[in-house]
Copies of this chain bind each other. A is one copy, B any other.
């Protein structure tokens, strides 16, 4: 049966469906780990605040299309799921942010990749290239901010926290790729910065077998709530439409 699990992990790279037996096995393992977490007071629910923003992490072509070292499988289901969340945010006038990872200078002694190209093929994500553009299937609107980051976290070295605080956001709904890289770092930073992270289960991709499951398990235990798409859409439906006024500001 371990061969089965192994097979699952290996095959997983091509498709994100699991055979029922492996799924059961994984669930059993996570259930056991969860028992310890529950006994010790981990895996609490952070819940939604009053004003969520949607953060779509690295749903640019390098991650969503074939042909890049960064390509992730499963986009044929992830993109439509993200589009459902997008529609819900747009319907309420809530803030939507996209991130991409792109570099102005990828050669020479002083690049803007920092040290990251010493671990991963960052040099393939040149600013201005097709690879780093947001996937057209998401139909980004001009009023939706694109943040160009240089590191894994959408918060690190960017104006994301500043943008969210100024917009009175208290909750970040997170989608995108990859679970083991930019999603995890964004969620860990998100709660550290004081925002409530909600990760939409069906909207998260990775390129390596098992990475989505393990990382979402860790995230849900400690850093943010992993929720199914259905629950997220229902919650957004109940959310008040966002009206831009600051009642407290009656400057005289």
Taking Cβ atoms with an 8 Å cutoff, the residues of A that contact B are: 1-6, 9-10, 13, 25, 28-29, 32-33, 36-37, 40-51, 69-70, 93, 95, 104-105, 107-110, 112, 114-121, 124, 142-143, 145-146, 150-153, 156-168, 170-171, 180-181, 184-185, 188-189, 191-196, 207-211, 214-215, 218, 221-224, 231, 238-239, 242, 244, 246-252
Contacts and interface: CB of A to CB of B under 8 A. Distances in A.
Contact of A120 (B41, B49, B170): B41
A41 B223 CA distance: 29
B162 A194 contact: yes
Contacts of A252: 231
Interface SS of chain A: helix, strand, loop or mixed? loop
Given A40-B121, A215-B218, A29 B209 contact: yes
A151 B145 contact: no
Given A167-B110, A209-B29, A48 B192 contact: no
Contacts of A36: 13, 207-208
In this complex, which of A4, A168, A180 has the most chain B Cβ atoms within 10 angstroms of its Cβ? A180
Contacts of A3: 1-2
A214 B9 CA distance: 13
Given A37-B208, A50-B248, A165-B194, 10 more contacts: A33-B209, A40-B207, A42-B120, A47-B246, A114-B162, A114-B192, A150-B162, A158-B158, A162-B192, A164-B194
A166 to B, nearest CB: 4
5 contacts: A9-B29, A114-B162, A157-B159, A158-B159, A170-B248
Given A36-B208, A41-B121, A50 B247 contact: yes
A105 B194 contact: no
A113 B114 CA distance: 26
Nearest to A213: B214
Given A50-B246, A120-B44, A188 B153 contact: yes
Given A36-B207, A114-B194, A46 B119 contact: yes
B194 A224 contact: no
Nearest to A39: B69
